[in-house]
Structure formats: structure tokens, C-alpha cells
Amino acid sequence: MMLYCFVQNYHWGKKGRNSEVALLAEGNRTDLQIDEEKPYAELWMGTHPSGPSVIVESGLLLIDWIQKNPKVLGTDVRARFGHLPFLFKVLSVDQALSIQAHPTKEHAKKLHSSNPDIYKDPNHKPEMAIALTRFEALCGFRPINELKKFLQEISELRFIIGEELVANFLSSDEANLQNALRKCFRALMSAPDDVVGNAITSFLSTLSTLDEPTRESLHADLVERLHSHYPGDVGVFGPFFFNYIILNPGDAIYLPANEPHAYLSGDCVECMACSDNVVRAGLTPKLKDIDTLCEMLSYICEPADAKLFTGSKEDDYTTVYKPSVPDFALIKIEISTKMDYFLTPRRSASICIVIEGKAKLGNKLIQRGSVFFFKASEEPFIKIIESNFLLFQAVANV
């Protein structure tokens, strides 16, 4: 079944035809007229009520059709979830998406119960992103030695956090480091706006006087870019606490619960548990829930390369990315020549999107932006009619 999918026009999205989301959405919906001044941030594929997909052939919402035909989910998915457990997306990021994390399932239930207007569902939201273009992100706390280096070098950071807390972190033994880091990070994120603003002004002034190697070591270009999008926001100092990661096309990262992160620029496919729960604390005009974020974070310090996630080759054309949660897995199918290909039958219902190329699925032409739904255990046959075919498939990880 072919699907029409929902576009989210968040302010941070790429505008017009610079957006991969816009171009894919144009292929997905023939009635879409791209506005060059409008941001096209996310293409949603799935059953989440904030952006539900519609079946092209019938006009029914996918969620309603699945509820009437639950066997299509597959026996394991029905038994474990009773619904399609994942939300599949394409993102086009022009500016930072906020310093954020996602709660565990138990924490999500509490947040939803206490504040349902902000935390709209009781589900967790682990997620995985695979880059389509050069993709920048902040992800996870830096290794301890890098954190200490920046705190020693940047007087403005010490000023905001407080010399006593910084000194305690710098001198802490391994048993107390995590708690000392938690206190420093909370002090930074909860500092008064005027204190943060003055510190940023001072730091930007200092950066403008430095030679290029020193500027590069202090991520000056990134700091200045973040400030240009979010003037005076404490998240401008985020690169000194979080790993700065550049993904090349095909590289993946996995973000479990309580992992701090912020996407900065680029295009990616993303899959997650079927939720829209986000706890934010910086680089955003939306509500910041600083206390909740600071309390929930894992404070695990790892190098940037530890955040990369490697898929496994299933055959010459198929790579499977399986995280540690049952809600979702991602499959990349990349075929460089014209040929016939049978997709592997899956124990789960799935949603696919064509990113590049053209093929025949039965008597239907599928091409850039085509999105379709497969029942569990289907063995779809596609005939590649244009080389350099790229398709991503989301499934439950059962």
C-alpha cells in the first residue's frame, strides 16, 4: 500500500528546495507546492496522531486500517505491542534542534501524567539517525579529560558555573566525578539569562582575537553559528560539554533514553519508538524543562566515536541496524545497477521510503519520495529500473 505522509514545518528546518524533506514530500504528494521561504523540517511516516500517514488507495488513516486488520502487524508485534511501535522520519536540519533528551518508558508515564500538555504520550523515545548528507550533531558528554581541558581554558564557563564547583570537578576522584559533573552542568543550564548573555559576549570577543588553530580547537565557528541562531542562549556553550560529531552519508548514531544530544545541520533518516516526548534545555524557543533534563541525564562520558552505530550486512545490498530496544530497527537497501530484487520477509509490518532511483513494485512505479507499507511476512519483489537505488525500511525489532 502506498502512503501519503505528513510534513512538519518546524522553524529549524531547511527552506524550500534546499530541504531533502521538501523534495521527498513533493515526490510523495503530487499536490504539494514547495514554498521557497518555508521550512520543511520533518517527514513523518507512521501512525503517531501528531502526523498520521494516509493510505493512498483508500484515503483511510493507516492507524485506523491497522486497528481493523491487526494481523498485518505480525504475531510477535501484536503480542508485544498491539500497534505499530515505531515512528519513521526524514529530517532536514538548517539550525540546531535544541539540547534535549528523551525519557525512559517509566519516566515518560510520570511526565505524561503530571504534564500531558507538554509530554503528550506515555511512551519512551529511543531513536536512531542515519545520515543522508554531511550531518552535524552534539551527542553525549565528552570524555573527562576533554571536559577538564575546556573548563580550564574558558574562563567564561568557570564564571557561569562557579569557581568552586569547577574546582571540585577538576579535583574529583573517579567515584565522585559523575556527581561533580552533574552539579557543574546544572549550574550552567540554570544560570540567569543576564549572566549567560554577558559571558557569551565576552567569549565571542575573545574568539575574534585568536589565531585560526586556537579558534578551531575552541569550535569558534560552531559557537558563533549557534549564537547567530539563538543569541544569548546557554546552549551556545553546549559544544564544550557534548561530543561534536560529523556523520558522513551512511553513518549512524543511536540515542538511548537519557542521552543528551542536539542535531545541528544536515539531512538524515530517523526511526524511533512511537512517541514525541522531548525534554529540552537549550537552543530552542520552546519550553525548557531544565530541572527534569538535568536530573534524568546519564552523565556517561565517552569519546565521539563511541556514539557511532554499525549495521550488519544481510546480503550484498542490505544493511540492518538493530538497536537494543524492540520498538524498531532500520534497514538500508542500496542497489547500484538495474536488476530484480526480493526484499527479505520480516516478522514485523514495515514502512519503506525511496530516497533515490526508480523501481517497479508490482505494477506501481516507485521513485524518490514514494512511501509504502508492507504486511509482516510479505516478500516484496522490486524491479530496479534506474541505477543508484536507495531505500530505507523501518520495522519492529522482533
Which active-site residues does the annotation give?
A: 280
Q: Quick one: cell of 6? A: 505528513
Cβ neighbourhood burial of 240 (10 Å; 0-12, 13-18, 19+): buried
Pairing of strands 42-45, 86-93: antiparallel
In the three-class reduction of DSSP (H, G, I as helix; E, B as strand; rest coil), residue 392 is classed as: strand
What phi, psi does 25 have (nearest 5°)?
-65, -35
For residue 233, CA distances in Å to 11, 98, 224, 228 come to 16, 10, 12, 10
Give the burial string for 32-54 (b: 16+ CB within 10 Å, else e). Answer: eeeeeeebbbbbbbbbbeebbbb
Contacts of 57 (CB under 8 A, 6+ apart): 1, 2
Kindly compute the dihedral angle of the four CA atoms of residues 210, 216, 222, 223, in this order, to the nearest 10 degrees. Answer: -40
- Give me the count of residues in the chain: 398
Half-sphere exposure of 195 (CA within 13 A, CB side): 13
Contacts of 142 (CB under 8 A, 6+ apart): 150, 240, 241, 242, 243, 301, 303
Contacts of 120 (CB under 8 A, 6+ apart): 50, 112, 276, 277
